[in-house]
């Protein structure tokens, strides 16, 4: 053993008191393990819920916002005669003008992954007497598939059939069940402005989100335009996906300026989901932080106890020429060793816990428990663990540095 003398002393202290060293490290292990596990839970869960959102919601949606007409004469002082006005939505049409230009502009932007146009049509699905209302999305199915991965949700049929069959429709499984319709059957639909059409069912999809499965269908853009009695340039929405969905709010303003229309990011479109996400983060974060804090107190206690028991040793070391810095160094090293071993085992414990939980089957649209190994969580867990251990060891170590050997020798 040819360590630096301070390290040597620190190691000897730890090794001659194995039990306490192990207990102190175990405190860190449990703290870090649970911390990483909990945060991974939250991250995994959030990721899963984001993914399910992105199956139907783009990162950014560009559309024309309804405008309320303003009175020509601005309302003045109340003392004047009241002018009765009846404000109405002033948009003549909610189409985006020159969508091709907007799409090519967007596509040339940095960080833009996918751009696709869409027309939403409120329709009724009819089969005999039964009628269900819902929304048909007029899409370019290949582009829409790139964005929402519709293919993975298909129960029957193929998305390509929609492209090859201009009068095809892909139905949500809920609609198909209620209307007792299978692939290759025909379905009659009526739009909100009374245009009717008979379409061939080329596919059925299931997202496990009943509000989507029971209402939504995909049709071709041209069919949607016909249902609304609109020209072939009519487009209501342009969907944009970017590389990192978390940055969507930053692009919202940018794209609004670029296109002249409202670009709504998915976060503001799903405020309640975001609020829940935030709540989960804070909740689990504070629980695991509390656990870490308890572990830190454990370390503080043990280092403090060690130092109290080692007062004599500290006095001797100081008498034989060790400075306050050296003494502090020794005890900081002891905490570091406890912290490092504890953290390493904590990472292992977290890995084992995550591994087991990821094998638990929940069912529904969740499937296996949504938890995953996140590099960032591990790194931040390890850093926080080391930091807390060091902070817990620092205070007693500093006190040890201040020990006056004379006081001890005179006892």
Partner 1 sequence: MNKDKQIILKAENLVKYYYEPVKFQALKSISFKVYEGEFLSVVGKSGCGKTTMMYILSTMDTDYEGELFISGEKVTGKKSDYLADIRNKHIGFVFQFHYLLPEFTCLKNVMIPALKLNKYSYEEVEQRAYEKLELLGIKEQAHKQASKISGGQQQRVAIARALINDPKIIMCDEPTGNLDSKNTNIVIDIFRKLATDYGQTIIAVTHDKDFSDKSTRTMEMKDGEILSHGW
Q: Check binding of 12 to partner 1 (CB under 8 A).
A: yes
Quick check: 5 binds partner 1 (CB under 8 A)? Answer: yes
For the CB of residue 389, give the shortest distance to partner 1 in the complex, in Å: 23
Q: Which is nearer to partner 1, 171 or 314 (by Cβ)? A: 314
Token pair listed for 337: 């060793």
> Per CB under 8 A, which region of 90-98, 238-246, 377-385, 400-408 contacts partner 1?
400-408
Stretch binding partner 1 (CB under 8 A), from 60-68, 160-168, 324-332, 390-398: 324-332
Report the SS3 class of residue 239: strand
From the list 294, 323, 372, 379, which residue makes contact with partner 1 (rule: CB under 8 A)?
A: 323
Beta strands in 85-233 (DSSP E): 112-127, 130-139, 154-157, 168-172, 186-191, 196-205, 216-220
Residue 94 or residue 306: which is nearer to partner 1 going by CB?
306
Q: Do the Cβ atoms of 293 and 388 come closer than 8 Å?
A: yes
What is the per-residue DSSP string for 43-75?
Answer: HHHHHHHHHHHTTT--SEEEEPPP-BPPPSSPP
User: Taking CB under 8 A as the rule, does residue 2 contact partner 1?
Assistant: yes
Q: Is 333 in the site for partner 1 (CB under 8 A)?
A: no
Q: Assess 43 for contact with partner 1 (CB under 8 A).
A: no
Binding status of residue 55 toward partner 1 by CB under 8 A: no
Residue (253 or 407) nearer to partner 1, CB:
407
Nearer Cβ to partner 1, position 5 or 287?
5
In the complex with partner 1, the residue whose CB is nearer, 129 or 411, is 411
Helical (H) or strand (E) element with 240: strand 237-242
Q: Write b or e for each residue in 169-193: b if 16 or more Cβ atoms lie within 10 A of its Cβ, otherwise e.
A: bbbbbbbbeebebebeeebebbbee
Q: What is the dihedral of CA 39, 355, 20, 308, to 10 degrees?
A: -10
- Phi, psi for 163 (deg, rounded to 5): -70, -40
- Selected from 318, 342, 369, 396, the binder of partner 1 by CB under 8 A is 318
321 binds partner 1 (CB under 8 A): yes
Applying CB under 8 A, does 258 fall inside the site for partner 1? Answer: no
At its nearest, how many Å lie between partner 1 and the CB of residue 346?
28
The correct pick among 146, 301, 324, 345 for binding partner 1 (CB under 8 A) is 324
Q: In the complex with partner 1, which residue's Cβ is closer, 15 or 290?
A: 15
Query: Which listed range, 40-48, 75-83, 318-326, 389-397, lies at the site for partner 1 (CB under 8 A)?
Result: 318-326
Supply the minimum distance, in Å, between the C-beta of residue 9 and partner 1. Answer: 7
Does residue number 308 form part of the binding site for partner 1 (CB under 8 A)? no
Residue (of 91, 109, 113) closest to 239 by Cα position: 113
Per-residue exposure over 24-34, b if at least 16 CB sit within 10 Å of its own CB, e if not: bbbbbbbbbbb
Distance CA 331, CA 10 (A): 7
- Nearest-angstrom CA–CA distance, 171 and 166: 15
265 or 334: whose CB is closer to partner 1? 334
Binding residues (CB under 8 A) for partner 1: these are 2, 5, 8-9, 12-13, 16, 312-313, 315-326, 404-406, 409
């Amino acid at each position: 053993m040819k360590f630096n003398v301070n390290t040597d002393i620190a190691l000897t202290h730890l090794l001659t008191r194995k039990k306490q060293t192990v207990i102190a490290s175990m405190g860190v292990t449990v703290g870090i393990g649970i911390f990483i596990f909990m945060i991974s839970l939250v991250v995994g869960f959030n990721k899963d819920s984001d993914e399910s959102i992105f199956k139907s919601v783009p990162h950014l949606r560009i559309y024309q916002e309804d405008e309320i007409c303003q009175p020509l004469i601005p309302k003045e002082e109340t003392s004047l005669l009241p002018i009765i006005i009846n404000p109405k939505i002033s948009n003549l049409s909610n189409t985006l003008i020159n969508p091709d230009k907007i799409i090519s502009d967007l596509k040339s932007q940095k960080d833009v992954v996918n751009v696709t146009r869409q027309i939403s049509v409120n329709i009724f699905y009819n089969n005999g007497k039964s009628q269900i209302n819902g929304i048909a999305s007029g899409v370019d199915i290949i582009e829409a598939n790139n964005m929402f991965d519709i293919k993975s949700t298909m129960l029957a049929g193929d998305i390509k059939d929609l492209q090859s069959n201009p009068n095809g429709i892909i139905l949500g499984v809920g609609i198909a069940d209620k209307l007792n319709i299978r692939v290759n059957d025909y379905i009659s639909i009526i739009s909100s402005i009374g245009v009717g059409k008979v379409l061939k069912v080329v596919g059925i999809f299931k997202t496990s989100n009943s509000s989507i499965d029971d209402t939504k269908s995909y049709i071709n853009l041209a069919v949607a335009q016909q249902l609304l009695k609109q020209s072939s340039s009519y487009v209501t929405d342009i969907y944009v996906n970017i590389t990192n969905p978390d940055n969507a709010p930053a692009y919202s303003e940018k794209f609004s300026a670029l296109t002249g229309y409202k670009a709504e990011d998915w976060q503001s479109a799903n405020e309640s989901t975001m609020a829940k996400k935030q709540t989960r983060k804070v909740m689990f974060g504070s629980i695991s932080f509390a656990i870490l804090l308890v572990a830190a107190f454990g370390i503080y206690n043990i280092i403090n106890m060690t130092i109290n028991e080692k007062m004599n040793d500290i006095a001797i070391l100081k008498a034989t020429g060790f400075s306050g810095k050296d003494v502090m160094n020794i005890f900081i090293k002891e905490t570091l060793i406890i912290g490092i071993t504890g953290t390493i085992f904590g990472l292992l414990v977290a890995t084992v816990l995550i591994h087991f939980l990821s094998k638990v089957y929940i069912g529904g649209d969740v499937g296996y428990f949504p938890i995953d190994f996140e590099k960032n969580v591990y790194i931040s867990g390890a850093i926080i663990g080391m930091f807390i251990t060091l902070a817990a060891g620092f205070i007693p170590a500093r006190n040890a540095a201040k020990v006056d050997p004379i006081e001890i020798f005179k006892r």
